[in-house]
Chains A and B, each alone.
Chain A
Amino acid sequence: GQQVMQIPQYQHVQEGEDFTTYCNSSTTLSNIQWYKQRPGGHPVFLIQLVKSGEVKKQKRLTFQFGEAKKNSSLHITATQTTDVGTYFCAGPGGADGLTFGKGTHLIIQP
């Protein structure tokens, strides 16, 4: 079945440094979504990408969808302590549900 691979699993950064997480799918995706989960919390929707090569920005966050619609990335510029959490990418799965990557845990050292 479809697999969504996400790297790295953990990322330690100093506050103010940039952060990037990468997502790769074994199949072409019609769309990809990104979610953030704070420690002890639940996933919260960040954004959806639909078009090949699409780039979207939300303040310090930049999301990209690859030309082949099989990979995506999330880049955070100048991280802040509020960015701590786990970032998941997710695409439509075989069943009518989402297939999630395993997530990237962002740990920020002040």
Chain B
Amino acid sequence: NAGVTQTPKFQVLKTGQSMTLQCAQDMNHEYMSWYRQDPGMGLRLIHYSVGAGITDQGEVPNGYNVSRSTTEDFPLRLLSAAPSQTSVYFCASSYGGTRLGDTQYFGPGTRLTVL
């Protein structure tokens, strides 16, 4: 199993550009989520999904969209990139949600810089 994969690994954008960060998992996990990690801030939840067709907002959702058309994929869209979105983005998945205490499996991350 590849686990959780993310593409691209690195990306540089100009302010106002849009892009999609890809996340896929091959573990048949129902729950998937996106976090951003900023220096000194830990990880903060952006959006999450408890299954195909179901998504919800996390702690810092503004400026991001998600969709979940399949169990395997959970892309994160930046609609109009801003310098404040410069960060490292991690996708995570698990069998159930975090309220069930399920182990979260993280992808390798995408390092995004917005100029």
Interface, chain A (partner B; CB < 8 A): 1, 6, 9, 30-31, 33, 35, 41-45, 48, 50, 88, 90, 92-103
Residues of B contacting A44 in the complex (Cβ-Cβ under 8 angstroms) = 106
A95 touching B48 by the CB < 8 A rule?
yes
Option from B40, B41, B57, B101 in Cβ contact (under 8 Å) with A50: B101
Q: Is B19 an interface residue (CB 8 A)?
A: no
Residues of B contacting A90 in the complex (Cβ-Cβ under 8 angstroms) = 43
Q: How far is the CA of A9 from the CA of B48 in the complex (A)?
A: 28
Q: Give the size of the chain B interface in residues (CB under 8 angstroms).
A: 27
Q: Could you tell me the distance in whole angstroms from the C-beta of B91 to the nearest C-beta in chain A?
A: 9
Q: How far is the CA of A97 from the CA of B48 in the complex (A)?
A: 7
A97 touching B105 by the CB < 8 A rule?
no
B33 touching A97 by the CB < 8 A rule?
yes
Could you list 21 A-B pairs, sorted by A, with CB under 8 Å?
A1-B59, A6-B42, A31-B101, A42-B90, A42-B108, A43-B43, A43-B104, A43-B106, A45-B103, A48-B101, A92-B98, A92-B101, A93-B98, A95-B58, A96-B48, A96-B97, A96-B99, A97-B33, A97-B45, A98-B98, A102-B41
